Amino acid sequence: MPRRQPLRQCPRCGFHTREKRCCGIDLAPGRFSMNPARIKFVRTLAHRQKGLDDEEYHRILAAVTDGRCESTKKIRRRRDFIALVDTLKGLPDVRRYERRAA
């Protein structure tokens, strides 16, 4: 008989689930690593959707991680990744015609 997965609680919405993901957060226990998909997600969010240049992006990254990380690949903590994504999502979006011009 297969063993049932334990219930996990999502820190964002408080929902109890057996799924490994909820609200875009990995709920599965284990080490956190910045894989290529996460790096691409953060860079796309920052540069295309929010219109940040490299200098502004690195300034936000340093502020969120308290100066521990100078590049996206160096993020080692899940909470730093979540804080960075939440900070970027809180910024206003760039209009479509301004995105193409940049």
- Give me the number of domains the chain comprises: 2
In this structure, are strands 16-17 and 21-22 parallel, antiparallel, or unpaired? unpaired
Strand, helix or coil for residue 16: strand
**Residue 64 burial (C-beta neighbours within 10 Å; 0-12, 13-18, 19+):** buried
Structural domain containing residue 14: 1-30
- Residue 86 and residue 74 share a domain: yes
Tell me the whole-structure pTM to 2 decimals.
0.66
Same domain, 47 and 95: yes
Q: Which two tokens mark 61?
A: 């990254």
pLDDT given at position 101: 54
Per-residue model confidence as pLDDT tens digits over 38-78 = 999 999 999 999 999 999 999 999 998 888 877 888 888 88
Q: How far apart are CA 44 and CA 100, in angstroms?
A: 14
pLDDT tens digits, one per residue of 12-31: 788 888 888 888 877 776 77
- Residues 65, 18 share a domain: no
